[in-house]
Amino acid sequence: MYGVDSSLLAITSYSFSRQFFATDLLDPLKCQDSEAGRRAWPTAKVDHMQIPRASLRGSSRVARFEERSTTDVRLLYRKAIRIVALMLIPMPAVAESDADLAKQLSNPVAALISVPFQFNYDANIGANRDGDRYLLNFQPVIPFRLNGNWNLISRTIAPIVSQNNVAPGSGSQTGLGDVVQSFFFSPAKPTQGGLIWGVGPVFLLPVSTDRLLGAEKWGAGPTAVLLWQVNGWTYGFLANHVWSFAGDGNRAGVSSTFMQPFLNYTTKDAWTFVLNTESTYNWNRHQWSTPINATVSKLLKIGELPVNIGAGVRYWAASPDTGPHGWGARLVVTLLFPK
């Protein structure tokens, strides 16, 4: 792909040979072969060769003239070949492959701008198991380069919720839930052992549009992620803990731990298989909420824009009485903006 076609070089070589070696006016030793050469270079025979009379100052000067002329022509020939070769050799592509981009999506602290739209459907919610919920998580990831060694990764989760009968007599609610904002300080390169990691703060922002869609509390805490990527595999663990410190005094305080172990595999043709859990432990109520998610996605191009599209199922292995039960579904569309 990056070499020069041998037949093209052969044609180019022949063309330059004709131009520089077969022209009578450039080679005084071949002047006798053309009328133009004889007019430009008056000749005389010396040692059975035709050479210009003006050059007859001894055999040594004839030899030097011949050598110099031949050397100059050869240098011109070589320079011409080099110029043509440089023009023909294409530069290698620097764009990232689809598989590389898909692999970066599996890394929560990759230096890649991505905008996931994650749709979840859960049913059998509430004490009577007659509630359901549609949840669209808007999850932009924006990296900032601090210097040559460190990046700051912003990860936002803004939920848009539509739910029905999640509590007795609650009716339906549709709107924005509380936003979770995380910042990870992460090294620009993995460690020698291949470890990729990031740490930073996480914030709970009470911006919900309905009392049943949020906690109405301000919260903050630490967050961290660590992972390894090798031979298409990505495995690691992301966690955070949030404590409330302000908000509506009539609402219960927040003290919850989120844990997400994950195992992903990306193929060379940009298919990714994902298995993870998104467990939350409520320390005030001593309750687990643990969905197990399994999805398959494919990275493709829409015009010039890389887009990752995936779908899968989820199963609630643990949930409080007021939470979802049984099976659910997930659909993810992620827009990528590589540098």
| Beta pairing partners, 173 | 163
| 185 inside domain | yes
Q: Return the higher-pLDDT residue of 339 and 153.
A: 153
> Total structural domains in the chain?
2
Q: For residue 5, what are the contacts with CB-CB under 8 A and spacing of at least 6?
A: 88
Same domain, 165 and 59: no
Same domain, 83 and 102: no
The last residue of one of the domains, among 47, 67, 88, is 88
Domain assignment of residue 40, given as a range: 6-88
pLDDT in tens, 71-90: 666 676 676 666 655 544 44
| 93 inside domain | no
Specify the pLDDT at position 139.
98
| Closest C-alpha to 274, from 234, 309, 307, 238 | 234
Same domain, 246 and 330: yes
Percent of the chain with pLDDT over 70: 72
pLDDT in tens, 92-136: 434 568 899 999 999 999 999 999 999 999 999 988 899 999 999
Backbone angles phi, psi at 156, to 5 degrees: -120, 140
| Closest C-alpha to 251, from 273, 219, 288 | 219
Percent of the chain with pLDDT over 90: 68
Which CATH number covers residue 126? 2.40.160.40
Q: For residue 251, what are the contacts with CB-CB under 8 A and spacing of at least 6?
A: 215, 216, 217
Specify the pLDDT at position 17.
44
Same domain, 81 and 122: no
Backbone angles phi, psi at 155, to 5 degrees: -125, 120
Specify the pLDDT at position 3.
45
Half-sphere exposure (Cβ direction) of 18: Cα atoms closer than 13 Å: 5
Distance of CA 286 to the CA centre of its chain: 40
Mean of pLDDT values over 1-25: 44
Q: Return the higher-pLDDT residue of 93 and 188.
A: 188
Contact present, 165 and 195 (Cβ < 8 Å) = no
| 119 inside domain | yes
| 2 pLDDT above the threshold of 90 | no
The last residue of one of the domains, among 37, 61, 88, is 88
Q: Average pLDDT, whole number, for the chain?
A: 83
| 208 inside domain | yes
| 1 inside domain | no
What are 62's two structure tokens? 């004839």
Same domain, 77 and 107: no
pLDDT in tens, 191-250: 999 999 999 999 999 999 999 999 999 999 999 999 999 999 999 999 999 999 999 999
Same domain, 183 and 302: yes
Same domain, 306 and 186: yes
Q: How far apart are CA 63 and CA 60, in angstroms?
A: 5
Q: Return the higher-pLDDT residue of 17 and 175.
A: 175
| 291 inside domain | yes
| 195 inside domain | yes
Q: Residue length, the chain?
A: 339
The last residue of one of the domains, among 39, 55, 88, is 88
| 191 inside domain | yes
Same domain, 28 and 118: no
Specify the pLDDT at position 126.
85
Same domain, 114 and 59: no
Same domain, 112 and 72: no
Question: What's the DSSP call for residue 140?
Answer: -
Same domain, 246 and 166: yes
Same domain, 115 and 65: no
Backbone angles phi, psi at 189, to 5 degrees: -130, 150
What would the 3-class secondary structure string for 187-235 be? ECCCCCCCEEEEEEEEEEECCCCCHHHCCCEEEEEEEEEEEEEECCEEE
pTM of the model: 0.72
